[in-house]
Amino acid sequence: MFNFSTIPLIEDPPYIELLQWLARGSLKQNLLRAIRLWVWLHSLYGDQQDRLCLPDPFTYKHWRDTFFSVTHPKGELAPHLHHSNCACAKTTAQWLFYPKTGLVEPEWRRSLQQHDAISDADLDELLQQRLFAVTRRSLFADLQILTELGWLKLADKQYYRVQNFPSRPSARELEPVNNRLGVYDLGFLNPNLEAIAQNLSQPIQNVQRFYLEVDYIISQTQNQVEKWLDEFRNLWEQTTITPICLSYTSAKYGVVECIIYPVCIYYVQRAVYLCGFGKTPTNKGEWYNYRLDKIQKITPLAWNDAKLPKLLRQRRTTLPTPDHIRLQMHQAWGFDFYLPSKLMLLRFDRTFHDRYIKGTSRHATFKAISYQGILQLIPEQVIPVKHRETLLKILKNRPQDDAYYTVIYRDGDPNVGLRLRAWRPKVEVLLPWELRQEITKEVQAEWHFYQN
């Protein structure tokens, strides 16, 4: 048997940062697995109450027979609820929210929802699921992940516990400053990219093996962009964050002045943007995304300044946060999250779809629909009857085995428009009708360039 006193101890609670690291990708999609991996770690390295009495090395069978009750099914299928005292009967909430973890459920939920846009209803459903009511294959996959992360060593189908734990977010205070980026400070990235960066952002054997190349159209005004970034950092470091007046050059509206509350910075599709709440260049709505290289001047204002729009004065005590933006972006495809959302119906050429669309992640609302589903959906849409009938006739001439999709998008978002253009001619916009007509005119104009 392994000497209990020689095994290192893990005391990490299931904080969101650690779970994100264990998820190795989208925490929202892999939340249950991340929490299950945290339980695994405490069964292997926890204190005397949590740690299982296992030989070293141990097998999956050793762990299963010690972790679960004697009546736990040994087959390949997910176990049914066979005994209330078996570990497979406990819900996710029961694993998370008991006195020893020190977690307060409302605070933990809020922290998770700030990290990932997940509704209360979806989170309630996840928390009530039996965490270990999974197949044997899933549990073997857990062991593989723990091995890849450096928590176990595998030899001859047996697992050895390690004496030195891998670097992880909860151990941040113990790490040199230069090592922190790879394991902690990457929450601002796309979750899937974050997992790659966490694994490879630091040099390996003094050789950098991971590079991130993105399109970035700002060059001549980069010094000005860096100046604005410094100003925003200084502003956000203040105890009281004040509104500002922007002198801004809009491609559509020329030079305008906007008094706003600066919320956060986004890099999206080749440039850096400030998300601002307040007066917009259009004098409509409350939000606008300002490209930093188009800002000419920034003037801080006091909260009692008479020039402040009524909207800002009313919201001073309930100012929006970046979480609002993330939630809105989750609800519809497009960075201009303040634009109205609409349903879009798309048809992809089957070969193109299978090569370039299938298996990719576009947006949470980007979902496949059957040909028959499209035929049933179109009559339900609020469009003139003549357009509805025309569209149904068009569909009858389209291949039924092509790939059809629905997506909720931001109407007028330029990045969505660019993506649709990049997919042409392998994609057809069926709805909304107005967008279909707009694309028809573009294609007709483009055809004139090449017809001769």
Question: How does pLDDT run across 195-244, given as a tens digit for each residue?
Answer: 666 666 666 666 666 666 666 666 666 778 888 888 898 888 888 899 99
Span 114-133, average pLDDT: 90
Residue holding tokens 């790490």?
175
Span 234-256, average pLDDT: 89
Q: 0.85 cut: is pTM over it? A: no
pLDDT of residue 362: 87
Q: How many angstroms separate the CA atoms of 442 and 165, rounded? A: 58
Span 38-59, average pLDDT: 90
pLDDT of residue 8: 74
pLDDT of residue 184: 41
Structure tokens at 277: 């709440």
Locate the domains of the chain by residue range: 4-200, 222-320, 341-450
End-to-end CA distance of the chain: 82
Long-range CB contacts (< 8 A, 24+ apart) of 349-356? 349/402, 349/403, 349/426, 349/427, 350/399, 350/401, 350/402, 350/403, 352/423, 352/426, 352/427, 353/402, 353/403, 353/426, 354/403
Lowest mean pLDDT among 179-193, 272-286, 318-332: 179-193
pLDDT of residue 6: 58
Q: How many angstroms separate the CA atoms of 346 and 364, rounded? A: 15
Considering the chain, what percentage of its residues have pLDDT values greater than 90?
Answer: 52
Closest CA to 253 of 221, 225, 284: 284
